[in-house]
Structure 1
């Protein structure tokens, strides 16, 4: 619009009224038009997609002592902690939906997935297989699902994690929060038959387990839970404790690095490989869609580490939700320069309705998340340059399994050193006492 206005001025006044100004405006119009054209022709193109997805709906993993639904064969024939029918339906829908929105991109690039990574948990592996079966429907492609516990499971033994977590659970802020809920926890201990104060370090996590079990029994399976579990005040308090359990559990930076460092590095290096090669250098068959099948805790840790958790109201992710990293590149037809950007999407798949004992339909909700620490000229577009993303995530990344082992088991080395130092002190004291007695006798 600017160049057109200048050109109009030139045509209207250049010959008769503004001979000097008209010459200036004519020159300026030739400068502005190419700039405008360059911006218009700099297009954003999708380059790769990385999806960290939570598994589908599942059966409980824990029961409380007075739980009336502990008969696994009767109430949970799939087994404990396994996908249920509704979860399988939701995952299949997810596969269809992702195929729909990324189909053209994959057709154009032939970047179909060849393998995906999963937590060792069976529900996560089944989620990956069902998703890919639906995602690749009517194609000739198939996918191998590989387990990676250190990357995608928080249950893999890590002494440093345990040490930091125990310090966190014994911190003043956690104890003050638990004290504020003492009356409710006492009440729930009485009703459930479980003493939640027996090991105070695990109190908050056990409250989260109780909350999730009741949500499954009451809200999804519509079982006749005890009357106290229907009380709205109790439901509200349990929900608050569940949120705080997720918030406190994974808040320490050391834990965040140990539990999502390998994942962040995997995503970043995939993007870097594509960003450092132009389209001509990339193999036409290079994989451009990557799935990581995991758990809500993986997503919470990642969101906390990237300072995005507040943008989803610190609410634990729902079943089949995903954190999607879309990698874009811009290509200018004028300069032939390419730039690379990341967009982060929190994608949820909700039930449209859940009539008792009936399977529901679904709808999708996308929320674009903005990294507040990412400062570049495209922030208003909710994009982060790859250079900035790389810089921000660098302190959180772990390069490989060897580095993970070294950091995780650092606590063992510290403990060994403490024990060694204690023995040195003891032996020194013994030697000092013996020498003192010796000189006393000689004297």
Structure 2
């Protein structure tokens, strides 16, 4: 009897623990998601002078999404659909999702392919039984007006000045010295007149695209050369947003996107997002580089095609929010967790916001301007000179007036008004 009572007690305790776990699990809710992804596989954006494969070698020309890239983005859409099953509606609901892309063919097409994987039509949304696709809107702004998703954002004089300072840094100078002969070899073989640490990435990109699409490479592009080009390409990305004064660069570049993402997350936490649950940005490798350097989570390598940075807002308990970040850069693996320095992976929203405040410009246009000490000195000197001249003029005027008043009065006209009245 005692043994049976003990078993009942253990069973009851187990049930309580199980129910408590279920309650805790139910208490934690996913409230909002933002994803920033790179477009899928593309053709090279240009060729080099001596390349035997010119634009005609690519079905749609330079810089266009390939069928491989379409499949990569469709797969990413399917992965997002599986990850957020139960959070997003099974069928497309325009109130839940907003998608924005840069105004570039490959990112617009990537967004469309991604949405095809995320929202295959079902039921009433099937408008043609032979087409497993439905149109979902993708928003954009003209390329000349893009100030959120394409980096570096220009014009910004302060950023250009920081880049010039980066060129004088020991790391940049040493990297140039170490690779002078190699860069000259690449220039000679490619026919490029300008082959520097900042431009050599284009050579790697062209050769990489050609190799992935089974086009022949020149004999000089050996395995060792390709590896060295890859390393220099990664260095050129760091040059854009880091190496020195990374935080200052972030305020002028990636911090702009960080600020918008934080604004959207905060609105969702305050129930001010009007039912919006998911924002997707279809972008470029430089976008992810700028974003991750601003967050200080960059791994030093170019973001691969269809890689995706994920922000998730969770409500741990009523009014208590955390932010989690993940990076999906390998379709065969689950997205791996990221943590901003100074916080745990599930970072409290307030702390997440305060830690990133340092990379958010309060007035971007003002911070982009260069404050020149020489110009300030010239202005001060000019003001002092004007002040001295004005002071001398005032003294001269007072002196003249004083002398006129102190002179002996001579003949004066006397009014005869009084005599006529008398």
CA distance in 1, matches of 2:33, 2:48: 41
Unaligned runs of 5+ in 2: 126-134, 389-422
Q: Given the alignment, which residue of 93, 98, 122 partners 1:115?
A: 98
Q: Which residue of 1 aligns with 2:238?
A: 247
Q: Given the alignment, which residue of 371, 381, 397 partners 2:340?
A: 371
Conserved in 2, the CA contact under 8 Å of 1:189 and 1:195? yes
Structure exhibiting the larger radius of gyration computed from Cα positions = 2
1:318 aligns with 2:318: no
1:309 aligns with 2:307: no
Structure (1 or 2) with the greater helix fraction? 1
Distance 1:34 1:396, change over 3 A: farther
CA distance in 1, matches of 2:257, 2:187: 38
Q: Counterpart of 1:262 in 2: which secondary structure?
A: helix
CA distance in 1, matches of 2:267, 2:380: 51
Which digits, 9 at most, give the CA deviation of each residue in 1:15-71, with x for residues without a partner?
xxxxxxxxxxxxxxx9xx99998676333221111100001111111322211112x
Q: Given the alignment, which residue of 320, 340, 345 partners 1:339?
A: 320
Q: How does 1:381-392 map to 2 (within 5 A)?
A: 382-392=345-355
1:69 aligns with 2:66: no
Once the two structures are TM-superposed, the CA of residue 349 in structure 1 deviates from its matched residue by 4.5
Q: Which residue of 1 aligns with 2:276?
A: 287
Q: Given the alignment, which residue of 87, 93, 113 partners 1:130?
A: 113
Q: Given the alignment, which residue of 186, 189, 192 partners 1:191?
A: 189
Q: Which residue of 1 aligns with 2:400?
A: none
Once the two structures are TM-superposed, the CA of residue 155 in structure 1 deviates from its matched residue by 4.7
Once the two structures are TM-superposed, the CA of residue 395 in structure 1 deviates from its matched residue by 1.6
Task: Give the alignment's TM-score, normalised by structure 1.
Answer: 0.72
Distance 1:390 1:111, change over 3 A: farther
Conserved in 2, the CA contact under 8 Å of 1:329 and 1:338? yes
Once the two structures are TM-superposed, the CA of residue 228 in structure 1 deviates from its matched residue by 0.9
Task: Give the alignment's TM-score, normalised by structure 2.
Answer: 0.75
Once the two structures are TM-superposed, the CA of residue 94 in structure 1 deviates from its matched residue by 1.6
Which digits, 9 at most, give the CA deviation of each residue in 1:351-371, with x for residues without a partner?
xxxxxxxxxxxx454211122
Unaligned runs of 5+ in 1: 1-6, 12-29, 198-202, 332-336, 351-362, 433-443
Kindly tell me the number of residue pairs found equivalent between the two proteins: 361
Conserved in 1, the CA contact under 8 Å of 2:48 and 2:190? yes
CA distance in 2, matches of 1:427, 1:344: 53
Q: Given the alignment, which residue of 75, 97, 104 partners 1:93?
A: 75
Q: How does 1:199-238 map to 2 (within 5 A)?
A: 203-217=196-210, 219-229=211-221, 231-238=222-229
CA distance in 1, matches of 2:121, 2:176: 53
Q: How does 1:417-432 map to 2 (within 5 A)?
A: 418=374, 422=378
1:159 aligns with 2:157: yes
Conserved in 2, the CA contact under 8 Å of 1:168 and 1:249? no
CA distance in 2, matches of 1:137, 1:418: 62
Once the two structures are TM-superposed, the CA of residue 133 in structure 1 deviates from its matched residue by 3.5
CA distance in 1, matches of 2:67, 2:73: 10
Q: Counterpart of 1:266 in 2: which secondary structure?
A: helix
CA distance in 2, matches of 1:82, 1:113: 30
Q: Counterpart of 1:152 in 2: which secondary structure?
A: coil
Conserved in 2, the CA contact under 8 Å of 1:60 and 1:213? yes
Q: Given the alignment, which residue of 395, 420, 434 partners 2:358?
A: 395
Q: Given the alignment, which residue of 402, 405, 415 partners 2:365?
A: 405
CA distance in 1, matches of 2:374, 2:106: 41
Once the two structures are TM-superposed, the CA of residue 327 in structure 1 deviates from its matched residue by 1.3
Q: Which residue of 1 aligns with 2:410?
A: none
